[in-house]
Structure 1
Amino acid sequence: MKRKSFSEMPYHLMLLPGVILVLIYSYGPMFGLVIAFQDFIPANGFKSDWIGFDNFTYIWSLPDTMNVLWNTIYISLMKIVAGLIFPILISLLLNEVNKSLVKRSVQTLIYLPHFLSWIILGGILIDILSPSEGIVNKGLQLLGIQPIFFLGNNDWFPYTVVITDLWKEFGFSTIVYLAALTSINPVLYEAAIVDGANRWRQTWHVTLPGMIPIIVLLTTLSLGNVLNAGFDQIFNLYSPQVYESGDIIDTLVYRLGLVDAQFGPATAVGLFKSVVSFVFISVSYLLAYRLANYRIF
């Protein structure tokens, strides 16, 4: 037993730099949560007056709080559903491609947007979706459709956010499902062919059942992101025109804390989100363990 523990020591040492960074940047700032219960004044530091839950009461009294909470849940749920269904369909289609060169080329093309930051993509999308000069609205005009202000219309903005996020990330998710497809025993396909199953029947009775464990796992783990609607993306795409449909918890925290200098209320909102997210993540890992036998340790 001691010999085995000694042999695993290099792996533990390899994790040490990552653990140190997590302690410094993730756990260290948690001491600042005390600001949520103070009338925080930077000049006084943590010696500011203690006001209990007044910051939380103030947040819930704001007229936009419930709308922000709804926007966050609505956008994040749409992202979760789209981010599960679309990559599965693409991976199934790619699995039917026999030419390796074509398959790898498509994989590379759909995977590339994942490496671009939302700062870059935000500028690109603002130009592409421009109601006056954007290529998308130019195409709509050729079809006889009036230009649409995708990033300035409250009816269109949430769906624009979901579609653009899907375009950026579905290639990365597709790789996970393609990896799951490689674990399916080829003998099962041969048996299906002998039984007279066509490609559709093979997909329905062999491919999809073989993907069920990874689908269940990723679905349950995604529950922890219910309150994460994507700050980087929305911050680079939204404007006061679409606060009604695009303002989320993270952007509210940004405006309260860094724009309005209301550090106490901003920390209170962040703490609320962290507690709720912790509950969802705990539940998702429990479900992943029960349904997919997934465990961290």
Structure 2
Amino acid sequence: MKHAGAGIAITGSGSAAPVASLDNDQLSQIVETSDEWITARTGIRQRRLANSGGTLAQLATQAAAQAIAMAGLTALDIDLIVLATSTPDDLFGTAGLVQAGLGASRAVAFDLTAACSGFVFGLVTASQFIHTGVYRNVVLIGADVLSRWVDWSDRRTCILFGDAAGAVVLQANERDRLLGFELRSDGTQNHYLNLAYQPQATSLLDGLEIGQGSFHPITMNGQEVYRFAVRRVPEVIEKALFRANLGVEAVDWLLLHQANQRILDAVAQRLNIAPEKVISNLARYGNTSAASIPLALDEVVRQGTVNPGDTIATAGFGAGLTWGAAIFQWGR
């Protein structure tokens, strides 16, 4: 139940990406591909890659610190940190490391895993703590280091992914700037995109066997994921708009998970949203999973492209399979 005066506002944003980049021409020296082939099919021209000493916690902490500063808060003002990631430094969770790195000693912190939908799922999850009056200042981070889990000999997947983090600050506000949302999952399609654990049979005693192993690199049926996205994403955005009691004409900006430019174009076309309203930076970063939406948001906010009060329709989609949309206004 929403308490009086417990709406949410998104008051700060931040982002971080590794310094090292890998462009398509360089990638063609690793696998049989070309800049022309990659660009035509995905719109991606380069991606950022964390080095062997780079951690998810470092990227997430840097993005969160920027968002906190933009919101005019300090780390000690933060009540909750939600880290949306599928590539933690520690399987027990990485949000605690971010809390320590920020010095946000009063904040509770936890990880949330919903792959490329993680930021949208995190936005809805974090907002509930504010709506119920439990917390007032929340940091939501989307961060992934997918280069750790890419098979660099598989040209179907290695061309797509990059590493980055993005963050926003959500604050209690008199007027609720989260106008509507819709979240969906379909586990029957999980096999189309996954990063699965591969157990190896290990005998402890006669008749007592366990499975120990590691995670297999990312596998994806690109054709099925594309088909799923162009069908389901417009639908879920329309449902979120319905819950917000808005028509598509009220949307100032379409901010989708940055997976593939052809998906962005197809979704905008199906919704009758003009190309100039579509936010895209995947040419420079590739698919950064949970980081992609806040990374792109921070860029356009800092450029002054997005202004306070602008209405943004955002949607994430990916492994699980999961998908979801949220309609929000930037600023207080």
Q: TM-score, normalised by structure 2?
A: 0.23
Structure in which a larger fraction of residues adopt helix: 1
Quick check: which has more Rg, 1 or 2?
Answer: 1
